[in-house]
Amino acid sequence: MKSKQLQAALAALVIAGSGVLVTDTAEAAKSTALQELVPQPVQVQPHTDITYTLSPSAKIQLSSADARKPAELLANILRPSTGYALPIENGVTGDGIVLTNGADPKTGPEGYQLDVTPKQVVIRANSVQGHFNGISTLRQLLPAKAEAKTKQQGPWQVPGVSILDHPRYHHRGAMLDVSRHFFTPAQVKRYIDQIQAFKINYFHLHLSDDQGWRLEIKSWPELTKIGGSTEVGGRTGKLFYTQDEYKDLVAYAQNRGITVIPEFDMPGHTNAAQASYAELNCDGKKRPLYTGTEVGFSSLCINKDITYKFVEDVIKEVSAITPGPYFHLGGDEALSTPDADYVTFMNRVLPLIKKYGKTTTGWHEFIKTTKDTTAIPQFWGTTTTDANVAAAAQRGNKIVMSPANRIYLDMKYNKNTKLGLDWAGLVEVKDAYSWNPGAYLNGVTEASVRGIEAPLWTETIRTSADIEYMAFPRLPVAAELGWSPASVHNWDRFAPRLGAQGPRWKIQGINFYASTQVPWKK
Ligand code: ACM
């Protein structure tokens, strides 16, 4: 018969969501890291008698070509903090971190197994994605100071465990609006690094809007010369990416397992283009540059051929420098485009995206204009009913879920939040967590959900610190909803796991919002 104290200790040691008990209280501390993973893996089997300690002579050993980039990512994180050389070598030779293939087929195209033995941490995966995801988990199993940019004191222990893991949804996205405020390549890379750590695999860049056109288009140079010269609030400068800078950003994301989805919003949200070229306006007159935050006042000229020459040139140039398969055409809030014109526009533009080899994604409004079941609507509404999205799901389209009152990262947390907007409501951390993407929209079932995306609009966001304050901790919330099995969805278990990220974010210099709803680890 167990003592009362032991029973209480055992109850406290249930690994969140896994149903696995750690059966020795003396081993509890070692297993703490296993209870602090975000997103929660599918299976976590602790081995309380085992601890792996990274040694100064440890190597990162590869027996899978897929693992090279993930190994480089891991080495770049651990070398500065541990001070160890951590050479990356082909072949499995002994002490260290082993990245190999031959994972259980249950892990699927993006999953992995992670096994900790006294001599090695072995990550098995059948794809490069799987290795990136396994590495993200290993980072959280190491002490938080492993994330430091300067040399720290060890020991660098990893608790004994066997993990088998794979995502609930393929699409786990984050969006950054670089149009309302422009963010430099360095700022964008910083955010890419932050989302990557939570197994986010799509990065959606909102590259054009009324306030700014942010990517060089060589055949239409005024788009950036004029349209990329200012932003909300009126700052001026070179507020755009050259094609080389964009290619570098895309490669940076790709080297971290992330696919960039470029968005050029049309036929509304187009003032920056219309300020750059007179011919894009029905009256042939350039619009003034706009530095305010209203929406819905601009529209491309639907019945001019030059509009489609412009759109085709943009799609052609962007597609040529975007290795990912998607082109996001916006399509939202076209309040100045009559409905019939909106349909006319989409009927001409959707085939152009196909012509250049890309799959169309867009804000959900566009889906009413097409029966193409490969097109991907991104739901951003605030209701749980949308007849057009439900009809598309019935036809077989897969939906990306971004309900604004749940995972728009620019919504204020509460009425005192200085940054952000509140048109979709106040979204505290628990609100962001308390919905089920697979049963949220009427008529859109789990099987019709491609995944989720957390957009960050930047009307009020100007710095990396601003980005981080709005994204943390809600971006990791979105990552959990997109990755972890629906069966582990439970706020009381999730909140401490989320709170355990606090020390890690402090070491990484992430300016997170320390919500009082979350029990932050000191
Ligand atoms: C949107 O928030 N207008 C997509």
Q: What is the pLDDT along the chain (522 residues), one digit of tens a residue?
A: 334 443 333 333 334 444 444 444 434 545 589 999 999 999 999 999 999 999 999 999 999 888 999 999 999 999 999 999 999 999 988 899 999 999 999 999 999 999 999 999 999 999 999 999 999 999 999 999 999 999 999 999 999 999 999 999 999 999 999 999 999 999 999 999 999 999 999 999 999 999 999 999 999 999 999 999 999 999 999 999 999 999 999 999 999 999 999 999 999 999 999 999 999 999 999 999 999 999 999 999 999 999 999 999 999 999 999 999 999 999 999 999 999 999 999 999 999 999 999 999 999 999 999 999 999 999 999 999 999 999 999 999 999 999 999 999 999 999 999 999 999 999 999 999 999 999 999 999 999 999 999 999 999 999 999 999 999 999 999 999 999 999 999 999 999 999 999 999 999 999 999 999 999 999
Contact 57, 95 (CB under 8 A): yes
Average pLDDT, the chain: 94
Which of 495, 410, 502 is closest to 176 using CA atoms?
410
SS3 of 315, please? helix
Ligand 1 close to Cβ of residue 333 (< 6 A): yes
Ligand 1 close to Cβ of residue 210 (< 6 A): no
Which of 91, 123, 120 is closest to 107 using CA atoms?
123
CA distance 38 to 451: 17
Ligand 1 close to Cβ of residue 248 (< 6 A): no
- CA torsion angle for 288, 291, 293, 299 (degrees, to 10)? 30
DSSP assigned state of 14? P
Side chain identity at residue 378, one-letter code: Q
Report how many helices (DSSP H) and strands (DSSP E) the chain contains, helices first.
17, 17
SS3 of 252, please? helix
Residue nearest ligand 1's atom 3 by CA: 332
- Which pLDDT value is given to residue 247? 98
Ligand 1 close to Cβ of residue 313 (< 6 A): no
Which of 246, 245, 215, 244 is closest to 228 using CA atoms?
215
- Which pLDDT value is given to residue 12? 36
Contact 459, 233 (CB under 8 A): no
Q: What is the pTM of this model?
A: 0.94
Between the CA of 64 and the centroid of ligand 1 the distance, in Å, is 41
Report how far Cα 267 is from the mean position of its chain's Cα atoms.
26
**Following DSSP, what letter does each residue of 403-463 receive, concatenated?**
-HHHH-TTB-SSTT-SSSB-TT----HHHHHS--GGGSSTT--GGGEEEEEEEE--SS--S
Reported as a single tens digit per residue, the pLDDT across 420-476 is 999 999 999 999 999 999 999 999 999 999 999 999 999 999 999 999 999 999 999
Phi, psi for residue 490 in degrees, rounded to 5: -160, 115
Q: Which residues contact 332 (CB under 8 A, 6 or more apart)?
A: 265, 268, 269, 362, 363, 365, 380
CA distance 485 to 231: 41
Between the CA of 280 and the centroid of ligand 1 the distance, in Å, is 23
- Which pLDDT value is given to residue 6? 38
- Which pLDDT value is given to residue 92? 86
488, two tokens: 């582990």
Between the CA of 216 and the centroid of ligand 1 the distance, in Å, is 23
Half-sphere CA count of 87, side-chain side, radius 13 A:
8
How distant, in Å, are the alpha carbons of 114, 254, 339, 488, 495 from that of 440? 33, 31, 27, 17, 21
Ligand 1 close to Cβ of residue 410 (< 6 A): no
Ligand 1 close to Cβ of residue 453 (< 6 A): no
Between the CA of 380 and the centroid of ligand 1 the distance, in Å, is 6
Residue nearest ligand 1's atom 1 by CA: 332
Residue nearest ligand 1's atom 2 by CA: 380
